[in-house]
């Protein structure tokens, strides 16, 4: 292929000519016409189409066939035989007969703490919400697998005997362990004292203070932790 280069052409372009200026009209040469013809025929024949006189659709058909593997049947659409495939946590996809949306579902805070869903993603926000809990001197925090860790305290002047605590929140199923630690704050209370568990339920626990040989003493209270589901 080449641009016209015969007498009267101007920088590779055709010109109508101008007698007033002496500019000749461009002469059309057999070389240029054959070059154009063969370039068009080459496109058609390379697509396996036999040239046929009078059939003006052959060039278009050849171009559509040529680009069908790139942009479909000439309408700008991707071939519908192509697939958008997904794997892992991604869902959606399919053939391209329609618009497809790829989705990665995210776990709720309840699903994160339950630990039973294996088809959703965990986001930082979801993780933070799942294990936010309640902070403070009496509080709790959810743990993976549906576990729940709680803590709390009692303060006052307690004599030897039983004391009861109510957990910050009720365990849905059961409290499996409630562990007390005796607290003796005044500096002059140097006698031995300890605290032991008596009973526990989903909503609270009972502990017992023991003093070393002197039941008239008092203690400041206790701290405890409890774990369950």
Helix, strand, coil percentages (3-state) for the chain, rounded to 5, are 20, 35, 45
Average confidence (pLDDT) over 100-118: 87
Identify the weakest region by mean pLDDT among 32-36, 115-119, 146-150, 177-181: 115-119
For the segment 174-200, what is each residue's pLDDT rounded down to a tens digit? 999 999 998 887 654 666 778 999 999
Share of the chain above pLDDT 90, in %: 51
Alpha-helical runs (H) found in 78-201: 109-114, 124-130
**Burial of residue 221, with CB atoms counted within 10 A of its CB: 0-12 exposed, 13-18 middle, 19 or more buried:** buried
pLDDT for 138 beyond 60: yes
Reduced to 3 states (helix: H, G, I; strand: E, B; else coil), residue 45 is: helix
Q: Report the alpha-carbon distance of residue 74 to residue 67 in Å, rounded.
A: 7
**Ordered domains of the chain (ranges, CATH):** 1-71 (no CATH), 135-228 (2.60.40.3940)
Beta bridge partners, 210, equal 194
Query: Which residue did the predictor score with more confidence, 160 or 150?
Result: 150
**pTM beyond cutoff 0.85:** no
Average confidence (pLDDT) over 132-137: 88
Provide the pLDDT confidence category of residue 216 given band limits of 50, 70 and 90: low
Share of the chain above pLDDT 70, in %: 90
Average confidence (pLDDT) over 52-66: 90
Average confidence (pLDDT) over 20-30: 92
């Amino acid at each position: 292929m080449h641009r016209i280069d015969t007498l009267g052409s101007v920088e590779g372009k055709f010109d109508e000519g101008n007698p007033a200026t002496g500019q000749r009209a461009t002469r059309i040469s057999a070389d240029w016409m054959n070059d154009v013809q063969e370039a068009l025929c080459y496109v058609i024949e390379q697509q396996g189409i036999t040239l046929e006189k009078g059939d003006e659709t052959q060039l278009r058909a050849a171009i559509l066939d040529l680009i069908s593997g790139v942009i479909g049947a000439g309408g700008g659409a991707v071939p519908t035989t192509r697939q958008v495939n997904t794997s892992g946590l991604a869902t959606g996809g399919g053939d391209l007969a329609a618009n497809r949306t790829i989705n990665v579902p995210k776990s709720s805070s309840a699903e994160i703490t339950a630990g039973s869903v294996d088809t959703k993603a965990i986001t930082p926000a979801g993780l933070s919400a799942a294990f936010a809990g309640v902070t403070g001197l009496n509080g709790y925090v959810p743990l993976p697998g549906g576990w729940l860790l709680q803590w709390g305290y009692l303060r006052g002047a307690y004599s030897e005997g039983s004391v009861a605590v109510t957990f910050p929140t009720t365990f849905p199923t059961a409290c499996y362990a409630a562990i007390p630690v005796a607290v003796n704050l005044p500096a002059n209370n140097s006698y031995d004292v300890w605290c032991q568990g008596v009973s526990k339920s989903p909503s609270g626990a009972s502990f017992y203070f023991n003093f070393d040989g002197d039941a008239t003493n008092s203690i400041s209270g206790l701290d405890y932790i409890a774990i369950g589901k």
